[in-house]
Amino acid sequence: MLKLKKLTSVLLAALLLCGLLAAPAAAESAGKLTLVLRAGSYTDVMKALAPQFEAENNCTIEILDLDFSDMYQKIALDSMNAKGAYDVIMIDGSWFTEFLTNDMLTNLTAMNYTLDDDFIAGTTKGGQDAEGNVFAVPFFGNVQLFYYNKDVLANYGFDAAPTDWATVLELAEKVKADGSIGFAARAQAGENIVTDIDPLVLASGGQIMDADNNITINTPEYTNALEQYIKLIGAGQIMAKDDIVAAVNNGTAAMSLIWPGWYTPGAGEPTSFALMPNKLTPDAEEHNTAWYGLWYLGVTANSQNKDLALKFIDYSTSAESEIATVAQGLTPIRHSPYQDASVLEQSPQLAIVYEALKNGVYRPSVPQWTEITNTLGVELDNAVQGAKTVEAALADAQSACEEIMTR
């Protein structure tokens, strides 16, 4: 018995020693990269790309997939640490100015990175500072689109989506009269309702801020847009994002707005993207009405592995990687994938996304954007729910947002 105990102890000690000796060998890799990504197709894309990069660079990649608010908070909280836990972060276009102002990102131009001409020109501006230095590289071509059920619209004599908002409303009211949902809207306080209404604001010739970053909410254009939006909701229903996609897909709802990052219909499906209606009435002036919701990739200022992080960004935003990951739901941000017949065969809807990306409109680039959308979103929600009149809600939003800008 004593001999057996001694033998067991010796064997355990030997195993432990082997483990200790093996550990240094396993640690000799190029390093570890931690990616912070938005949950959904964005993560699927990166999970498809990571293994090849890991093999070629002898490194490991850890992926954190989070929702929108969690991403923002975790990135912000980690930015104050001397040594960051994250290396590559997905950046929503609306966060970029705030992150840049607070020195949270690495200057990639200083690391000899340059953007090539294959990137869709309009999409790169949102990742650069005023001097043209690149701090974030476009990764996912999210842009607001119109989304509709082809079969439902065909029942009302439409073989394509309407191109003006008055016709959208008229059609939504007919659909509602027949017992279905004319228009599915998110309409929840915050960024959701602000982005929902903005295509109508742009179609009306209005905007949230002018070129000098003055607040222009309490205007006839915004008032008109909000009134139209309330009528649209009257002919439809407010739903969560996943419910909207499901409702239009199964024909319960006729039309909605969508971001390709939510869902991209495949060939043979009853739903389709369309360019956002760009005027209020059939005879009105046309405007660019597709808001960019582009996602970028950046290297954190406190990353412990900046060179490898930049190499990964270069790899994952290359034309080859984009073409390879359309199947995982990537919306490319370069010209060449959209000119590749195999890509369009996989996902014919991308042709519409390409048109929208070439003519998209940026959201205002101010560090106070998160606060502005919170505040404006609450007032818009009040108007939509009938808690305030349109005029009172927009007047309150105007003064509150002006106060935010002057702090």
Binding stretches for another protein (CB under 8 A)? 69, 72-73, 76-77, 79-80, 98-99, 102-104, 187-190, 237-240, 243, 246-247, 252, 370-371, 374, 378, 381-382, 384-387
Residue 209: C-alpha distances to residues 13, 60, 163, 267 (Å) = 69, 44, 25, 39
Query: Considering only CA atoms, which of 406, 399, 389, 364 is closest in space to residue 195?
Result: 364
Give me the least distance between CB of 386 and another protein, in Å please. Answer: 8
* Least distance to another protein, CB of residue 234, Å: 13
Hey, what are 335's tokens? 């010209």
Residue type at 7? Answer: L
- Least distance to another protein from the beta carbon of 374, Å? 6
The token pair that represents 292 in the structure block: 């960019």
Tokens of 151: 């079969």
Q: How far is the CB of 253 from another protein (least distance, A)?
A: 9
Please state, in angstroms and rounded to a whole number, the distance separating the CA atoms of residues 145 and 31. 40
Nearer to another protein, 205 or 364 (CB): 364
CA distance 109 to 70: 28
Q: Which is nearer to another protein, 258 or 276 (CB)?
A: 258
To the nearest whole angstrom, how small is the minimum distance from the Cβ of residue 401 to another protein? Answer: 13
Q: Rounded to the nearest whole angstrom, what is the least distance from the CB of residue 13 to another protein in the complex?
A: 37
Compute the least distance from the CB of residue 191 to another protein, in Å: 10
Q: Are 273 and 245 in contact (CB under 8 A)?
A: no
Measure the CA–CA gap between 331 and 123, rounded to whole angstroms: 13
3-state secondary structure of 107: coil
Least Å distance, CB 364 to another protein, is 16
- Both tokens of 24, joined, read 């240094």
What does each C-alpha distance from 34 to 151, 152, 306, 382, 391 come to in angstroms? 44, 45, 11, 40, 47
Residue type, 67: D
Distance of alpha carbon 90 from alpha carbon 46, whole angstroms: 11
Q: Closest Cα to residue 303, out of 98, 126, 135, 54?
A: 135
Q: Residues with Cβ < 8 Å from 35, sequence gap 6 or more?
A: 46, 61, 62, 63, 64, 86, 87, 88, 89, 90, 312
CB of 391 to another protein, least distance (A): 16
> What is the smallest separation between the CB atom of 116 and another protein, expressed in angstroms?
31
181 vs 201 by CB, closer to another protein: 181
Q: Which residue, 365 or 385, has its beta carbon nearer to another protein? A: 385
Query: Listing from the earlier edge strand, what are the strands of the sheet with 137-140?
Result: 59-66, 31-38, 88-92, 295-299, 137-140
Residue among 318, 313, 312, 314 nearest 333 (CA): 318
Residue 361 or 384: which CB sits closer to another protein? 384
CA distance 347 to 266: 6
